[in-house]
Amino acid sequence: MADGKAGGTKGGQALLFLTDEQLRKGIEAMFFAYRGFTADPDRILEKYGYGRAHHRALHFIGRAPGTNVNNLLGILGVTKQSLNRVLRTLIEDGLVESRIGVQDKRERHLYLSETGTALEAELSEAQRARMRVAYREAGHEAVAGFRRVLEAMMDPDQAAYFNAMTNRGE
């Protein structure tokens, strides 16, 4: 492990010899890329006085309309107090609607309002635009590889949420 080399096989793939240096470059690539990844939404959010936490909530509510708070907590991996603070401002500002559950009245089902949908779309389009450019520059096969590595990097329970995410369209 400490000798700077590692080999392995999987599914008939050729042996992979990875130096610590190659791994480090991957780590740094993640660091710098994630900054680029969040830069555009951050600029938009600033205009409205929101932060990344608001973006995440808007994204996943938009993604799974009618989701309840507990489910959102699992996806976002924060405490309910943290999420609640964000959710409260979004509801107060009329971006998110919280509807009491029909079957289970303890649950609140979350939906984006018209303005919430609009902001989510603005944020999402900015982020998709960057992703689109990166995908085009990198090419078709690179995209598949990108996704495979990212999935393998997730914690298993996180990956479960990821795969449970609406798979329509793919």
Question: Which of the residues 70 through 89 are near DNA (CB under 7 A)?
Answer: 70, 73, 77-82, 84-88
Question: Does the protein bind DNA through residue 96 (CB under 7 A)?
Answer: no
Q: Report, in Å, the least distance between residue 69 CB and DNA.
A: 4
Count, in order, helices (H) and strands (E) of the chain: 7, 2
Question: Does the protein bind DNA through residue 44 (CB under 7 A)?
Answer: no
Question: Does the protein bind DNA through residue 60 (CB under 7 A)?
Answer: no
- Considering beta carbons, is residue 17 or 34 the nearer one to DNA? 34
- Considering beta carbons, is residue 106 or 168 the nearer one to DNA? 106
Tokens at residue 94, please?
Answer: 């009329």
Nearest 5°: the CA angle 101, 75, 100 is 10
Question: Does the protein bind DNA through residue 105 (CB under 7 A)?
Answer: yes
* CB atoms closer than 10 angstroms to residue 86: 21
78 Cβ contact list (under 8 Å, min separation 6): 53
- Pick from 157, 159, 161, 131: which is nearest to 146 by CA? 131
- Considering beta carbons, is residue 5 or 52 the nearer one to DNA? 52
Question: Does the protein bind DNA through residue 68 (CB under 7 A)?
Answer: yes
Residue ranges of the alpha helices (H) in 79-164?
80-92, 114-138, 140-153, 156-164
Residues in contact with DNA by the rule CB under 7 A: 49-54, 56, 68-70, 73, 77-82, 84-88, 98, 100-101, 103-108
